[in-house]
Amino acid sequence: MSLVTRLIELVGGSLGAPPPDPDGLENERLAAAALLVHVARVDGSFAEAERDRLTLLLQSRFGLSKPLAERLIARADGLDREVDDVATLVEMMGRSVDREERRRVLGMAYQVAGADGEVEEFEDDLVWRVGHLLGFTDAEIEAIRADAVPASNPPASAT
């Protein structure tokens, strides 16, 4: 059993969640949600606006009800606290996640970072790093960012 699987089972079990599904989709969703929680918390807090935005994004992306999205966020929060490393969270999403899904996750990360109306420099730096870990070039990250956040907030890492 891999470390990733054991971490997910540990966090899932401690929060009363069912074990991961055999096809791995739940693991990928949990890892993506944990990555987004990590982005939300990078400034030291998980603000209400960030939590609300994340709930809506997960509902929309994964077709979840609000209670299921909130439960996924609770599990993701636990996983993020256990792992506390974006590279591990990206790896946990799985190599089978296609490029378009990775693009969506990166866009969601920028939307969570900008939930309070502004993407701070340290948030932008973190999401930029995630973009590289997901296999995107600087130009691709910039395009994803431009689609996800208002044009009035230029990127800090585009240099």
pTM reported for the whole predicted model: 0.79
Q: With bands split at pLDDT 50, 70 and 90, how would you rate the model's confidence at 20?
A: very low
- Environment class of residue 113 by beta-carbon count within 10 Å: exposed (0-12), middle (13-18) or buried (19+)? buried
Residues in the chain: 159
Give the pLDDT score at 137.
97
Q: How confident is the model at residue 5 (pLDDT cuts 50, 70, 90)?
A: low
Does 21 score more than 60 pLDDT? no
Interior/surface letters 64-93, b for 16+ CB within 10 angstroms, e for the rest:
beeeebbebbbbbbbbbeebeebebbbebb
- For domain 3-148, is the CATH number 3.10.20.30? no
- For residue 147, name the pLDDT band (cuts at 50, 70, 90): very high
Task: Provide the residue ranges of all domains of the chain, joining segments of one domain with +.
Answer: 3-148
